[in-house]
Chain A
Amino acid sequence: MAAAALREQLNALLSSMFASGLVDDQFQQLQMLQEDGGTPGFVAEVVTLFCDDADRIISELAALLEQPIVDFDKVDAYVHQLKGSSASVGAQKVKFTCMQFRQLCQDKNRDGCIMALAVVRNEFYDLRNKFQTMLQLEQQIQAQQ
């Protein structure tokens, strides 16, 4: 494929991500940081970090919520961490879900938490897929250049 077409595809993907609210202007700022700061691969690095971190947190959360007596304080701490990460990356939807999750945590609503975790997981997987596509596209563009 031609680099131009790939770039167009990448732009379309990013636009759709912004449009659907998956990511917000913070993600845009990250991209600007990469472009202005002259640090190639910065976005990829951050995104990978975020995905690994989030994946770990989600599995931790799942384990915590499966236990007979749920330690909501621990859950809350994890969700807060996830919220912070998603805010930094600009993963808007994950962030909002985390905010709701935290509310449920404070209410000590176990079923609600499990539901919220499912939503967070869905949102996250959705985002991760998009991110992976994005990164692949970027790599392809770079390879072409």
Chain B
Amino acid sequence: MTVTARGRSGGGAGMEEKCDAPGLGFLGLDRMRVLLPPLRLPEKLSASRTLRTHLFTNYRMRKVRDSSRWLIPLWVSIWVFIASLIYLRMSYQAVEKRRELLAIMCDDRARMLQDQLNVSMNHLQALAILVSTFHHSKTPSAIDQKTFAWYAERTAFERPLTSGVAYGVKVTHAEREQFERQQGWSIKKMYSSKTKKQSQGPGNAEDAEVREPAEEYAPVIFAQDAYKHVISFDLLSGADDRDNVLRARESGKGVLTAPFKLLNNRLGVISTYAVYKYELPPNARPQERIQAAIGYLGGIFDIEALVDKSLHQLAGKQSIMVNVYDTTNEKPISMYGSNDTGSGMCKVTLNFGDPTRKHEMHCRFIQSPPWPWLAITTSIGIFVIGLLVGYIIYATAKRIARVEDDFQEMSLLKKRAEDADIAKSQFLATVSHEIRTPMNGVLGMLQMLMDTDLDTTQQDYVRTAQASGKALVSLINEVLDQAKIESGKLELEAVPFDLRTVCDDILSLFCGKAQEKGLELAVFVSDQVPQTLIGDPGRIRQIITNLVGNSIKFTEKGHIYLTVHVVEEIMHCLEVETGTQYANTLSGYPVANRKRSWENFRLFSRELNSSEMPFATSASDSISLIISVEDTGVGIPSDAQSRVFTPFMQVGPSIARIHGGTGIGLSISKCLVGLMKGEIGFASKPQVGSTFTFTAVLTRAHSSVNENKSSEFKGINALVVDHRPVRAKVTKYHLQRLGVHNELTTDLDQYISKINCGSQIAKLVLIDKETWLKESHSLPLLVTKLRNKDQPDSTKLFLLENPKSSVKSNSHIFREYNLNVIMKPLRASMLQVSLQRALGGIDKLHCRNGVVGNSILGSLLRKKQIIVVDDNIVNLKVAAGALKKYGAEVTCADSGKKAITLLKPPHSFDACFMDIQMPEMDGFEATRRIRVMERDLNEQIERGEAPPECAGVRQWRTPILAMTADVIQATHEQCLKSEMDGYVSKPFEGEQLYREVARFFLNQDQVQ
């Protein structure tokens, strides 16, 4: 960097060789350094921003990663918890269900057992009543032992659970003798419960002892056959039996004994019923019941058989185990079932009809509960699903994080790349700008050197050096443009301008080159194109200049033809002079098909698709122009056509050597066209020519400007004689612009015959030189005819000279016939001057040579009151001097405050040039304040309270232009923001000053 900068400064400014070292540095290197810091700023800014976003995302990422460390165990434990919860719930439900089932089953069995017992008991009671009815109430008794046994035996099916019944009668001690006599046996004593059972085994009644005397006896008199041996035994002698009997006669209900072993070694109970002498009321007192009791009926219940039987009826549900207990005493006595007491017992209370005895049934499943497989599999399944879901989430999060990481990285890189690109463009813009300044010095020096006394060789060297320098400056300008476009700094102006003048200017620019090469150069602007358009004339000029310049560069013979049409016009007659026929072109050389150059335009394809579009666009203010540049040059090789608009791309390396140029021009043009919402395209045929076409969207200027046509040519008829219709059209176009009424003819003979007839004669006759040479035989005749008329205002003959035919060889022609020669390319201004000169009435004052220059600036600024504001008195002086040169009357102000007091409306100033950078109050601030004052006044005017000086003024707005040393920095936008009207660079530059001043002074004049 240092080396190149130094090298450049050394090479670029050779005139500094003599001066000392610091000076050398200042020019190149140090200014580089001065200018670079502003470049770094956006980079720094963006870097800090990206750093911040980067940090932020990193923080987020880290958070995700940190949390994942404890998130995984947490997730797993949550799912373990959920799974176990589900397991517990399901298994609890299963247990509960099982218990319910057990309860139901147990209940079923208890009910059945109870029912069957009750049935037996009821029957026992019926038997008791039978005995009471037929034994005691009848005398003599209807029942003896045999009858009882027989009856009992036959009704045994009614008492399925009683293995036997016996009946004992109540005998008092007083009646014992008589009773024993009557029965024929003595009352015997029962054994104590233990011995009794054993003794009852063989049933040997004879062995039994005689009952010792007691107050009362209850000897058995009837018994079932199986229990015949118990007859004559006293029921009251056994402890259990006595208790039973006593309780039975007190309660009047059946009572049960505790279970005991029966003869068959099975457990059983005895149920006892009391038999009463007469029917007792249900609420009889126990004393009455005892009195009324006359006998006792007992039945033996085989509990085991009972339960077995009942359980058997519920067969198929064998998986249940049943235990029956007598729980009257503290210690329950097992009546049925094994003593196995496992867990999961279901207890049901049994009611066997004896309130004093309590029984319970215990049920339990034989098989232990099965494993809750459903619960286990379900919970494990859910756990696995949970883990999988967790993994999916984790994997997704990880992937998202990675993608985000990648994205961040990519966007960072993208940002950096964009920043670098912007920085590059800015650097280019700045550097190009900076290079221009010393280059101007070099060029100026060279110019001065040329004015000194040099010999031919030296002059040649200097001229070459200057040409090279100029080429370099234009190249730098192009690079600057490109850089500006790329960095988005290029903004289009919107000023009213005349496109025809612009085209004329371009033509005059290339006039010399075209003449050198002998090319025909012509412009045609359709009359559909409005006189005044609003757009950026500079940029349009740049595009056209570039295209025409290229054409000139690559064309050795033939013509270059610039045409401007309105898009709609082309749309409606697509065949309009497409120039496909060779003879119909400007110079007769074949050209590439113009139509093909725009066939790719979106504008057309869109409009062709929807026919409504053209009307929609034509209604609005915007107008689409289509501008073509047609040449008959070498054309573009088809393989290079694709990269024509790529920056720095040329057809081949040899092109740059032969023709020079950077290859950036078309790229810039394309960008500019894009900025104008247009498109650019081309058609090219090698060795035939190329046609470049572009469109641009501009705005119609509404102010009806009085046409540029000067009235001096009104009423003048002209005749254009040209055998090429296209060329004739161009001539006609220029004449029309001057207001000359004209007609075309391709045939001279026809015209001559017309003159002979004495019909209207044109005052001007313009003949193309080519036609002249072609029809030279009939021309002398025409000339003499015209001259013969001897009229004072005889017809003027003009020869349109083509640059390619050398003037010298043909000079005799116009000398001979006293012809006026107009050199092509035709331009309105030039034509005007020529015609004026020929017609004699030349008004020197109104002679416009078509060059925008100081004279116009002078006419714009003459007698204008202009205020210049700058804190620097030297600057002030220089600016004032420059403006005074153009005839303006200048007032100076050395501060923003002073400017405000001077510009307090009403005042008589026409414009203000304001320095931006001033101490105390800068230009922007001062402008703002002035605008505020103006607004106040405008409001007053609206209300009609305006001071008398303001009468006739509808609105105050003094044009304020910024003056700035750094044009790049002070953009147009910034000026507009503070309500300035534009900016000029400091020190003043004629062209720019003109452009800015013209913008509002021209408008002002037009309005007035």
A→B interface (CB under 8 Å) = 15, 18-21, 24-26, 28-30, 33-34, 36-37, 39, 42, 45-46, 49-50, 53, 77, 80-81, 84-85, 87-90, 92-93, 96-97, 99-100, 102-103, 119, 123
Q: Is B445 an interface residue (CB 8 A)?
A: yes
Q: Can you offer 9 A-B residue contacts whose CB atoms are under 8 A?
A: A19-B18, A21-B27, A24-B444, A49-B877, A77-B919, A89-B878, A96-B23, A96-B31, A103-B30
Near A by CB (< 8 A), chain B positions 1-51 give 13, 15-16, 18-19, 22-23, 26-27, 30-31, 33-34, 37
A53 vs B26: C-alpha distance when bound (angstroms): 23
Please give, as numbers and ranges, the residues of chain A lying within 8 Å of B448 by CB-CB distance.
Answer: 15, 18
**B881 CB contact (under 8 Å) in A21, A24, A39:** A39
Q: Tell me if A99 and B445 are in contact (CB < 8 A).
A: no
The chain A residue sitting closest to B30, CB to CB, is A100
Q: Is B872 an interface residue (CB 8 A)?
A: yes
Q: Tell me if A102 and B34 are in contact (CB < 8 A).
A: yes
Q: Is B986 an interface residue (CB 8 A)?
A: yes
**With A33-B885, A49-B877, A85-B872 as contacts: A97 and B16 at CB distance below 8 Å:** no
**With A21-B15, A100-B34 as contacts: A93 and B23 at CB distance below 8 Å:** yes
Q: Tell me if B874 and A21 are in contact (CB < 8 A).
A: no
Q: Tell me if B34 and A88 are in contact (CB < 8 A).
A: no
Q: Tell me if A46 and B877 are in contact (CB < 8 A).
A: yes
Near A by CB (< 8 A), chain B positions 934-951 give none
How far is the CB of A10 from the nearest CB of chain B, in Å?
14
**With A20-B15, A87-B987, A100-B30 as contacts: A49 and B873 at CB distance below 8 Å:** yes
A140 vs B873: C-alpha distance when bound (angstroms): 27
Q: Tell me if A25 and B441 are in contact (CB < 8 A).
A: yes
Q: Which one of B26, B37, B879 has the highest number of Cβ atoms from chain A below 10 Å of its Cβ?
A: B26
Name the 9 nearest CB pairs between A and B, nearest first. A37-B885, A96-B26, A85-B874, A88-B878, A88-B875, A84-B872, A50-B874, A19-B15, A25-B444
Q: Tell me if A103 and B33 are in contact (CB < 8 A).
A: yes
Please give, as numbers and ranges, the residues of chain A lying within 8 Å of B877 by CB-CB distance.
Answer: 45-46, 49, 88
Q: Tell me if A85 and B875 are in contact (CB < 8 A).
A: yes
Q: Is B917 an interface residue (CB 8 A)?
A: yes
Please give, as numbers and ranges, the residues of chain A lying within 8 Å of B192 by CB-CB distance.
Answer: none
How far is the CB of A119 from the nearest CB of chain B, in Å?
6
Q: Is B882 an interface residue (CB 8 A)?
A: yes
How far is the CB of B530 from the nearest CB of chain A, in Å?
37
The chain A residue sitting closest to B882, CB to CB, is A33
* Prevailing SS type, chain A contact patch: helix
A50 vs B874: C-alpha distance when bound (angstroms): 6
How far is the CB of A46 from the nearest CB of chain B, in Å?
5
Please give, as numbers and ranges, the residues of chain A lying within 8 Å of B685 by CB-CB distance.
Answer: none
**B874 CB contact (under 8 Å) in A28, A29, A84, A119:** A84
Please give, as numbers and ranges, the residues of chain B lying within 8 Å of A90 by CB-CB distance.
Answer: 987
Q: Is B440 an interface residue (CB 8 A)?
A: yes
How far is the CB of B284 from the nearest CB of chain A, in Å?
131
Q: Tell me if A84 and B875 are in contact (CB < 8 A).
A: yes
Q: Is B871 an interface residue (CB 8 A)?
A: yes
**B872 CB contact (under 8 Å) in A30, A34, A88, A103:** A88
Please give, as numbers and ranges, the residues of chain B lying within 8 Å of A93 by CB-CB distance.
Answer: 19, 23, 26
**With A20-B18, A49-B873, A87-B965 as contacts: A39 and B33 at CB distance below 8 Å:** no
Q: Is B884 an interface residue (CB 8 A)?
A: yes
A31 vs B487: C-alpha distance when bound (angstroms): 38
How far is the CB of B618 from the nearest CB of chain A, in Å?
48
The chain B residue sitting closest to A89, CB to CB, is B874
A45 vs B870: C-alpha distance when bound (angstroms): 17
Q: Tell me if A37 and B965 are in contact (CB < 8 A).
A: no
**A84 CB contact (under 8 Å) in B444, B884, B965:** B965
A108 vs B30: C-alpha distance when bound (angstroms): 17
Please give, as numbers and ranges, the residues of chain A lying within 8 Å of B445 by CB-CB distance.
Answer: 18-19
Please give, as numbers and ranges, the residues of chain A lying within 8 Å of B881 by CB-CB distance.
Answer: 30, 33-34, 37, 39, 42, 46
How far is the CB of A11 from the nearest CB of chain B, in Å?
9
How far is the CB of A77 from the nearest CB of chain B, in Å?
6
A123 vs B27: C-alpha distance when bound (angstroms): 14
Please give, as numbers and ranges, the residues of chain A lying within 8 Å of B15 by CB-CB distance.
Answer: 18-21
Q: Tell me if A96 and B30 are in contact (CB < 8 A).
A: yes
**B884 CB contact (under 8 Å) in A30, A37, A103, A123:** A37
Q: Tell me if B878 and A99 are in contact (CB < 8 A).
A: no
Q: Tell me if A21 and B875 are in contact (CB < 8 A).
A: no
The chain B residue sitting closest to A103, CB to CB, is B34
Please give, as numbers and ranges, the residues of chain B lying within 8 Å of A80 by CB-CB distance.
Answer: 917
Q: Tell me if B878 and A30 are in contact (CB < 8 A).
A: yes
Please give, as numbers and ranges, the residues of chain B lying within 8 Å of A77 by CB-CB distance.
Answer: 919
Please give, as numbers and ranges, the residues of chain B lying within 8 Å of A18 by CB-CB distance.
Answer: 15, 444-445, 448
**A25 CB contact (under 8 Å) in B13, B440, B854, B879:** B440
Q: Tell me if A53 and B986 are in contact (CB < 8 A).
A: no
**B987 CB contact (under 8 Å) in A29, A36, A81, A92:** A29
**A119 CB contact (under 8 Å) in B22, B37, B919:** B22
Please give, as numbers and ranges, the residues of chain A lying within 8 Å of B854 by CB-CB distance.
Answer: 36
Q: Tell me if A88 and B22 are in contact (CB < 8 A).
A: no
A97 vs B37: C-alpha distance when bound (angstroms): 17
Q: Tell me if A21 and B19 are in contact (CB < 8 A).
A: yes
A21 vs B27: C-alpha distance when bound (angstroms): 10
Q: Tell me if B26 and A100 are in contact (CB < 8 A).
A: yes
Please give, as numbers and ranges, the residues of chain A lying within 8 Å of B440 by CB-CB distance.
Answer: 24-25
**With A77-B919, A87-B965 as contacts: A99 and B874 at CB distance below 8 Å:** no
Q: Tell me if B26 and A81 are in contact (CB < 8 A).
A: no
Q: Which one of B19, B452, B917 has the highest number of Cβ atoms from chain A below 10 Å of its Cβ?
A: B19
How far is the CB of A8 from the nearest CB of chain B, in Å?
12
A131 vs B455: C-alpha distance when bound (angstroms): 31
Please give, as numbers and ranges, the residues of chain A lying within 8 Å of B23 by CB-CB distance.
Answer: 21, 93, 96, 123
How far is the CB of A114 from the nearest CB of chain B, in Å?
14
Type the 1/0 row for B260-281, where 1 means its CB is closer than 8 Å to any CB of A.
0000000000000000000000
Please give, as numbers and ranges, the residues of chain B lying within 8 Å of A39 by CB-CB distance.
Answer: 881, 884-885
The chain B residue sitting closest to A98, CB to CB, is B26
Type the 1/0 row for B412-453, where 1 means its CB is closer than 8 Å to any CB of A.
000000000000000000000000000011001100100010
Please give, as numbers and ranges, the residues of chain B lying within 8 Å of A42 by CB-CB distance.
Answer: 881
A92 vs B22: C-alpha distance when bound (angstroms): 13
Please give, as numbers and ranges, the residues of chain B lying within 8 Å of A34 by CB-CB distance.
Answer: 881
A117 vs B737: C-alpha distance when bound (angstroms): 62
A12 vs B425: C-alpha distance when bound (angstroms): 42
Please give, as numbers and ranges, the residues of chain A lying within 8 Å of B987 by CB-CB distance.
Answer: 26, 29, 87-88, 90
The chain A residue sitting closest to B18, CB to CB, is A20
A102 vs B292: C-alpha distance when bound (angstroms): 144
Type the 1/0 row for B878-892, where 1 means its CB is closer than 8 Å to any CB of A.
110110110000000
Please give, as numbers and ranges, the residues of chain A lying within 8 Å of B16 by CB-CB distance.
Answer: 20-21
The chain A residue sitting closest to B874, CB to CB, is A85
A122 vs B917: C-alpha distance when bound (angstroms): 27
The chain B residue sitting closest to A24, CB to CB, is B441
A88 vs B452: C-alpha distance when bound (angstroms): 27
How far is the CB of B964 from the nearest CB of chain A, in Å?
11
Please give, as numbers and ranges, the residues of chain A lying within 8 Å of B885 by CB-CB distance.
Answer: 33, 36-37, 39
Q: Which one of B13, B854, B874, B919 has the highest number of Cβ atoms from chain A below 10 Å of its Cβ?
A: B874
Q: Given A21-B27, A84-B986, A88-B986, 9 other A-B contacts at CB below 8 A?
A: A15-B452, A24-B444, A25-B440, A30-B881, A33-B878, A49-B873, A77-B919, A96-B26, A99-B34
A28 vs B885: C-alpha distance when bound (angstroms): 15
How far is the CB of A9 from the nearest CB of chain B, in Å?
15
Q: Which one of B27, B445, B854, B872 has the highest number of Cβ atoms from chain A below 10 Å of its Cβ?
A: B872
A120 vs B33: C-alpha distance when bound (angstroms): 18
Q: Tell me if A81 and B871 are in contact (CB < 8 A).
A: yes
How far is the CB of B938 from the nearest CB of chain A, in Å?
34
How far is the CB of A78 from the nearest CB of chain B, in Å?
10
Q: Tell me if A21 and B986 are in contact (CB < 8 A).
A: no
Q: Tell me if B872 and A99 are in contact (CB < 8 A).
A: no
A18 vs B696: C-alpha distance when bound (angstroms): 45
